[in-house]
């Protein structure tokens, strides 16, 4: 897995971002896209200077207006004035209240007025003390990307062998998105020690950011209201982080992994990887990486295939993609015997 940044750097990054955030509600009829002299498309809003729009916000604007992504991106690149005309027409003809989230003056998200903001600093303030109370806990990776906060930790005191000499440890993977890209989650994870690979398995807690409708900007920034709304989520999150490193749950996962270690490839390994790559959504280039990892690992079992998938987290194009490979590998634990047979017996 990519190491990301240190815990101290994570804290500094979260704190710096806290001071750069600003959110507001607006009727889309009062918003418009404008093409600047430099050719960049910016968002104009009342009482704001033109704001650059980040990729996720562009995607969300297009999705809300039902503009196909391929066409939206083509207009953005080749005909930005046409894009602005399209978006502005729909903003005005079908006006609605939306939440605009900014960071350092850049528009980072375009969301519903029911979006419940659970901030990265809130998650960190709940999670880090809990992790500190776990004996010998080790933070193996953490990062804040444009898309998400990630914290991954393992408990060396809770470990078992999947097969002789192949030790895994219990862990937890925590993530949160402030820009509408999924839920806040605390998921169980197992960590393969000899190659520093993680696999994210069951979600013990997942909370989507949907709350009550926010009526105005005063309510948006009312700290007492927000804290009351967030309290139940954060308390539940605290409990589920503890549950992620539960010994009984961990031992049940070990039994499943030991079964996988005994299921051997009986057909063509390359074809097995091809089928597996489709199941986990890997590209053709990533499929080649999985095959190389399988060969270099020398373990032609279902367990070996799972680890070939998670090993791509070391070379993924981004931290976000690395975590997706960990989750993809973890999902393979729950494949049925029939589904594994399709992979292992491919010829």
Whether 210 and 288 share a structural domain = no
Whether 11 maps to a domain, the answer reads no
Does residue 252 lie in a domain region? no
Answer yes or no: is 272 within a domain: yes
- Residue 204, pLDDT above cutoff 80: no
* More confident site: 245 or 108: 108
- Is residue 134 located within the same domain as residue 240? yes
Do 134 and 164 lie in one domain? The reply is: yes
On whether residue 50 sits in a domain, the answer given is: yes
Tokens representing residue 331 in the block: 């999902």
Region 287-308: what's the mean pLDDT? 95
Q: Pick from 246, 281, 307: which residue ends a domain?
A: 246
pLDDT, averaged across the chain: 89
Report the range of poorest mean pLDDT among 44-53, 152-161, 240-249, 262-271: 240-249
* Total-model pTM: 0.88
Asked which of 63, 86, 112 is the last residue of a domain, the reply is: 112
User: For residue 172, what are the domain limits?
Assistant: 120-246
Instruction: Count up the domains in the chain and report the number.
Output: 3
Q: Three-state DSSP class for 254?
A: helix
Whether residue 7 lies inside any domain: the answer is no
Q: Are residues 305 and 238 in the same domain?
A: no
Would 1 be classed as within a structural domain?
Answer: no
Query: pLDDT at position 238, please?
Result: 78
Task: Measure the CA angle with vertex 324, ends 336 and 203; round to 5°.
Answer: 60
Domain contains 4:
no
Of 84, 112, 140, the domain-final residue? 112
Q: How many CB atoms lie within 10 A of CB 17?
A: 17
Query: Is pLDDT of 206 > 70?
Result: no
Look at residue 130 and tell me if it is in a domain: yes
**What sections of the chain are H helices per DSSP?**
7-20, 55-64, 69-78, 80-93, 120-132, 217-220, 223-244, 247-261, 269-280, 284-297, 302-310, 319-331, 337-344
The answer to whether 271 and 181 have CB atoms below 8 angstroms apart is no
Residue 184: per-residue pLDDT = 83
What does the pLDDT read at residue 13? 94
Residue 200 has pLDDT above 70, yes or no: yes
Average of per-residue pLDDT across 239-253: 84
List all residues 6 or more positions away from 318 whose beta carbon is below 8 Å from its beta carbon.
145
Question: With 60 as the cut, is the pLDDT of residue 224 above it?
Answer: no
Q: Is the pLDDT of residue 41 over 90?
A: yes
Three-state secondary structure string covering 272-340: HHHHHHHHHCCCHHHHHHHHHHHHHHCCCEHHHHHHHHHHHHHCCCCHHHHHHHHHHHHHHHHCCHHHH
In a shared domain, residues 153 and 227: yes
Confidence of residue 10 (pLDDT cuts 50, 70, 90): very high
Contacting residues for 311 by C-beta, under 8 A, at least 6 apart: 195, 197, 289, 290, 293, 297
- Judgement on whether residues 79 and 98 belong to the same structural domain of the protein: yes
Look up residue 277 and give its two tokens. Answer: 């790559």
204 and 100 together in one domain: no
């Amino acid at each position: 897995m990519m190491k990301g940044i240190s815990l101290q750097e994570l804290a500094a990054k979260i704190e710096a971002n806290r001071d750069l955030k600003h959110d507001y509600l607006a009727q889309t009829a009062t918003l418009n896209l404008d093409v600047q002299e430099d050719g960049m498309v910016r968002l104009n809003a009342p009482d704001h200077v033109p704001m650059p729009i980040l990729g996720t916000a562009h995607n969300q604007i297009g999705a809300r207006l039902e503009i196909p992504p391929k066409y939206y991106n083509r207009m953005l690149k080749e005909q930005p004035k046409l894009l602005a005309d399209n978006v502005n027409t729909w903003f005005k003809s079908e006006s609605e209240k939306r939440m605009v989230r900014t960071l350092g003056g850049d528009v980072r998200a375009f969301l519903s007025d029911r979006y419940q903001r659970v901030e990265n600093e809130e998650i960190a303030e709940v999670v880090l003390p809990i992790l500190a109370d776990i004996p010998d806990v080790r933070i193996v990776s953490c990062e804040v990307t444009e898309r998400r906060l990630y914290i991954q930790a393992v408990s060396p005191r809770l470990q078992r062998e999947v097969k002789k000499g192949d030790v895994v440890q219990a862990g937890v993977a925590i993530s949160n998105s402030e820009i509408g890209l999924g839920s806040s989650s605390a998921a169980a994870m197992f960590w393969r020690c000899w190659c520093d690979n993680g696999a994210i398995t069951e979600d013990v807690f997942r909370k989507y950011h949907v709350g009550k409708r926010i009526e105005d900007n005063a309510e948006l920034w009312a700290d007492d209201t927000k804290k009351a709304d967030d309290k139940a989520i954060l308390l539940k999150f605290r409990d589920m982080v503890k549950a992620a490193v539960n010994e009984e749950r961990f031992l049940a996962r070990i039994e499943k992994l030991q079964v996988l270690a005994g299921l051997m490839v009986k057909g063509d390994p390359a074809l097995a990887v091809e089928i597996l790559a489709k199941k986990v959504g890997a590209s053709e280039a990533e499929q080649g990486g999985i095959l190389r990892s399988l060969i270099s690992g020398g373990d032609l079992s279902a367990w070996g295939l799972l680890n070939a998938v998670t090993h791509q987290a070391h070379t993924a194009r981004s931290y976000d993609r690395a975590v997706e490979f960990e989750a993809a590998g973890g999902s393979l634990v729950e494949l049925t015997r029939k589904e594994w047979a399709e992979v292992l017996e491919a010829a």
